Amino acid sequence: MHDRHGGVATAHGWGREFEKLGCDVRLIPPVYVKPFVKRQKNDATDAEAILEAALRPTMRFFAVKTEDQQARAMLFRTRQMFVGQRPQMINALRGHLAEHGLVAARGPAHLKRLADAIAGDDTALHAEVRDLGRMYLGQIEGLNTRVAELDAKMRCAAKKADLVRRTQTMPGVVPVTALAIETFARDLATFRRGCDFAAWLGLVPKQHSTGGKARLGKTSKMRQRDSGHSWSLALWLSSRLSSGLTHRIMAG
């Protein structure tokens, strides 16, 4: 069965249902299955490729996520979507008002200048432009409110999870980062050292080595992308995460 990363979106849900029936469920990333697909792609060929990949002794599997983990993942993705929509709305408003002679610098810090111009009577803006501008400002304010609500939910979820609380005992680890690691990362006990954790995150050079010569390229970035900028701090965390400290976090 494929997992969420580019495969069947319902893999974890079906996996939990099969586990209720006593099955041993193992999820395989599609990128590991693709080399076993022969020529044309169809259901029979995909099933054969999945079977061959699953029988490999060195194949890497992923555990089925719990409903709580998927709920927290939805929380992260929803917040990320709203955060991405906010600059889109601000830039759209900037562009429209620039066509009417009202220019402001980029960034949310300069949004107040546009809001004051729309609300004030000293600018010669068309009445319909003012109405539409207020609509944009209302949408932006609504996004700010929703992001703040989701931040509060994430802080609340970080207090409930025992592993998240232990992870926050490390210097520099904030609730959002700790929650992202607990939600998206594999069991930390499977990593022998911080370098292994960094490699799983994709924060290592991409290799194209041959003939005994090591050729290292740019960062592979083959990582879980849903958690956004939280993995940037996770890079700092992984560089300081030793094997003993990982086990102490897992053991509490």
Q: What residues does each domain of the chain span?
A: 1-65, 67-159, 162-251
Predicted confidence band of residue 31 (pLDDT cuts 50, 70, 90): confident
Residue 170 has pLDDT above 70, yes or no: yes
Give percent above pLDDT 70 in the chain.
Answer: 83
Dihedrals phi, psi of 27, to nearest 5 degrees:
-100, 135
The helix (H) or strand (E) run that includes residue 133 is helix 127-160
pLDDT tens-place string over residues 207-236: 788 888 888 877 766 655 554 444 555 555
Instruction: Please give the Cα distance from 177 to 231 (Å, whole number).
Output: 7
What is the pLDDT, as a whole number, of residue 245? 47
Q: At what angle do helices 243-251 and 194-201 cross, to 10 degrees?
A: 80
Measure the CA angle with vertex 234, ends 183 and 160; round to 5°. Answer: 35
Instruction: Please give the Cα distance from 158 to 143 (Å, whole number).
Output: 22
Residue 8 has pLDDT above 90, yes or no: no
Q: In sequence order, what DSSP letters do the residues of 92-122 get, joined into one string?
A: HHHHHHHTTT----SSGGGHHHHHHHHH-SS
- Range 79-82 contact pairs with CB under 8 angstroms and sequence separation of 24 or more: 79/147, 79/150, 79/151, 79/154, 80/226, 80/228, 82/143, 82/146, 82/147, 82/150
- Range 125-128 contact pairs with CB under 8 angstroms and sequence separation of 24 or more: 125/97, 125/100, 126/100
Q: Are 197 and 244 in contact (CB under 8 A)?
A: no
Query: Residue 207's closest CA among 199, 220, 219, 216?
Result: 216
For the whole prediction, is pTM greater than 0.85?
no
